[in-house]
A and B are shown apart, each in its own frame.
Chain A
C-alpha cells in the first residue's frame, strides 16, 4: 500500500533541494521551511513504509520486498536496475536518518540565523545530503547505492567548506575550512575508488548487482569464492574511507571546520553511518569467509581505542565529540565483525547456535548505530547551542554555563550519560551487548585476538566516560570562563526543542530491544535458507538476565562510574590536578595525543613523498618521452626539409643532369633485376 511509494522517500528531499536551490531566497528563512517540510514528509513516509513492512505477514517469510525497472543493459549479459529494496535494515536506516535530519533542520533555523542569503545554499545542500542517505538506504542494487554514496561525499565536501569563503572568525578559519573540505573529499575518495573496484569485481563475478539476486545461497555458491573475498575486502576499503576507520580516520576531526549542524548531520544521520549500513548490508557476502569479519573487528577495535585516546586531552568541544564519534563507530564495526565472525563460522560448520550467537553481535552493532545517531545528534546540537551562546569552541573559556543554559546542560548531561554507557540509558544496552559479543566470540577460535579486542573495548568504555564527563564538567560546571561571562543565555526555541526531543530518545531508546525490536534487526536464515536481516530470533527480556547476570557488565559499570568520578574530581571539584598525570602537558604521551598520534603528519608525508614523487616521475615522462618524441619528429622534418631545400638551385642544367642520371640509374637497376632473375 505505502511500500509502492518508497521511491518518493529520496525524491522528496531532492525536490526540496531543487526548489530551495532555485527559489530559496524568495521564501522566508532562505528555504529553511521547505527543507524541513521535505524532511518531515520523508519521515512520515518512512514511518508508514516501515509500519507496513513490519506488520504485514506478506513480507515476513522472505524478509524483503524489492521492485525495480531496467536502467540499462551492457553487452555480455549485464543488466543494471534502478529500484528499491526494503528490509528491516533499510527501514531502520531511513527512519533514524530522516527523523534526525528533520530535527537538525529545525535546529538550523536558529543556529544559521545570521547567515543571510547564504542560508539558501545551506538548506539546499543539506536537503541533497538527506537525499543521499535516504536513497542509499532504499536502493535495490550496489550501483544505485554507489550513486547516492557519492552524492553524500559531494555534499560533505560542500558543507564542510561552507565557511571557506567568509568565515565569521576571519581568513585563517576560512582557509582551514577549505583545506578540511578538501581533505575530507580526497581521503574518502581513496575509499571510494576501492569501493568502485569492488563493485566491478562483484559485477563480473555475479553478472548482476541487485541485492535480491546476489544474496541468495545459489548465487553465492555459484561464484568463485576468491572473487567474493576480493570484492568484500574492496568494499570494506570503501567503508573504511566513509566511516573514517583506521587508517583513514583523520578527515573526520578536521571536518569540524564546518557548521556544527553539519557535523551533527555527518556524524549522526548521514555519511559515516553509510559505512556501517553498507557493512551490515553486505553481511551475506562478508560471512562467506570468516577472516574478512575478523579484519572488520580488528579495524573497529583499534579505531575505537585510538580515537578515544585522542579525545582525552583535547580542548575543543567539537573535536572531543568528533573523536568520540570515531570511537563509537569503531564499536559498531567491532560488534559487526565479532558477530559476523561467529555467523561465518556457524555457516561453515552448519552450527545453528553459533549463527544465533552471532546475530546478537549484529543486533548490538545496529542498535548502537541508532542509539549513537540519537545521542551524537543531541551532543553536537548541544555543543552548537553552547558555541552559539558563548562564541568559542575552546572549553577552557567556557565553564559554569550550567546556570545560564539549564536546558542545554541537562540535555547534554543525558547525552553524555547515554554515550558513556550509564545503566539504563540507551548507550548502555548496545555497548554492553557489543562487549559481550566480543567476549562470546573469543570462545570460538582466535581466542587471544578477541580477548585483546575485548580489553580494548573495556578500556575505551572507561575513556569514553572520562572524556565525555571531562567535557561536560569543563563546559557547564566549575568556575566561569572568559567567554561565559557575556553569554546570551539559553538558545532560541527552535534550537532547544530538538534537543529535548533527542534527549528523550537518547535516554530511552535502549529499552526497545526488550520489546521485540531485536527480532527486526537480528540476522538469520530465512525460509529460503538465505542470510537475511530480520529473520533471526531476538531474545527480548532474556537480554536482562544475560546482561546483568554477567560479571563483566558489572565491571564495565564500575569502570564507567570510576571514570565519571575522576572527571568530577579533576574538572568540577578540582581536588585532583590533571597536570600531575601529564607533567603539565610536557609528557611524551600528552604530546603524541595533541599531535593526534602524528596521523596528519603521516598523511602529509605520504602525500608529499609519494604523491610528489609520482608527480615528478609523470612529469619527467611527459616532458622528456612524450613531448620529446613529438618534438624530435618535428625537428627531424624541419631539419631534413632545410637540407633538401639546398638542392633547389634553380639551375635548369643541374636539374636535367639529375633527371638523366636518374634515368640511367633506373635503367641499370632494371637491367640488374633482369639479370638477377635470369632474364638476360
Chain B
C-alpha cells in the first residue's frame, strides 16, 4: 500500500503549483485554472484521509466540492467573458480599475 505521506506530498506540490500560478500569471484563464488546481489538491487530501481511516465522509465531501467547483467555474468564466466584453482585456493587470 502506498504510504499516506506520498499522497500528502503530492497534494502539497499540486497546491504550491496552483498558488504559484495565481500569484505570477497575468492571464485570467490561467489564474482560474490554477485555482482549480489548488481545489483538487485539497480533494486529493480528502480522498487519501478517507481511504486511510475507512470513513466515507471524506469522499462525500469531494463529490460536493467537485459540484461546487463546476458551478464556480461557470460563474468565473461568465465574469471573465463579461469583463472581456467591457474592457477588451483578459489580463489581470488590465482589470485594476477597483483601486484608490
Pick from B22, B26, B95 the residue with the most CB of A within 10 Å: B22
Q: Which residues of B contact A653 (CB under 8 A)?
A: 22-26, 92
Are B23 and A648 closer than 8 Å at their CB atoms? no
How far in angstroms is the closest Cβ of chain A from B7? 20
For chain A, what secondary structure do more than half of its interface residues adopt (helix, strand, loop), or is it mixed?
helix
Q: Which residues of B contact A656 (CB under 8 A)?
A: 19, 22-23
Q: Which residues of B contact A680 (CB under 8 A)?
A: none
> Is B96 on the interface with A (CB-CB < 8 A)?
yes
How far in angstroms is the closest Cβ of chain A from B31? 7
> Is A55 on the interface with B (CB-CB < 8 A)?
no
Chain B residues numbered 68-94 whose CB sits less than 8 Å from any CB in chain A: 92-93
- Place the interface of chain B in its size category: 10 to 19
How far in angstroms is the closest Cβ of chain B from A97? 78
> Is B97 on the interface with A (CB-CB < 8 A)?
yes
Are A648 and B99 closer than 8 Å at their CB atoms? yes
How far in angstroms is the closest Cβ of chain B from A467? 85
> Is B98 on the interface with A (CB-CB < 8 A)?
yes
> Is A612 on the interface with B (CB-CB < 8 A)?
no
Q: Which residues of B contact A645 (CB under 8 A)?
A: 100
> Is A646 on the interface with B (CB-CB < 8 A)?
yes
> Which of B19, B31, B100 meets A652, CB within 8 Å?
B31
Pick from B19, B31, B97, B100 the residue with the most CB of A within 10 Å: B100
Chain A window 466-481, contacts with chain B (Cβ cutoff 8 Å), 1 for yes, 0 for no: 0000000000000000
> Which of A646, A651, A660 meets B96, CB within 8 Å?
A651
> Is A650 on the interface with B (CB-CB < 8 A)?
yes
Are B23 and A646 closer than 8 Å at their CB atoms? no
> Is A545 on the interface with B (CB-CB < 8 A)?
no
Are B23 and A651 closer than 8 Å at their CB atoms? no
Are A651 and B93 closer than 8 Å at their CB atoms? yes
Are A652 and B92 closer than 8 Å at their CB atoms? yes
> Is A448 on the interface with B (CB-CB < 8 A)?
no
Closest A residue by C-beta to B35: A656
Q: Which residues of B contact A649 (CB under 8 A)?
A: 96, 99
Are A646 and B100 closer than 8 Å at their CB atoms? yes
Q: Which residues of A contact B24 (CB under 8 A)?
A: 653
Q: Which residues of A contact B23 (CB under 8 A)?
A: 653, 656-657, 660
Q: Which residues of B contact A650 (CB under 8 A)?
A: 95-99
Q: List 16 A-B contacts (CB under 8 A).
A: A645-B100, A648-B98, A648-B99, A648-B100, A649-B96, A650-B95, A650-B96, A650-B97, A650-B98, A651-B92, A651-B99, A653-B23, A653-B26, A656-B19, A660-B19, A660-B23
**Given pairs A649-B96, A650-B98, A651-B99, 5 additional interface contacts (CB within 8 A):** A649-B99, A650-B95, A651-B96, A656-B19, A656-B23
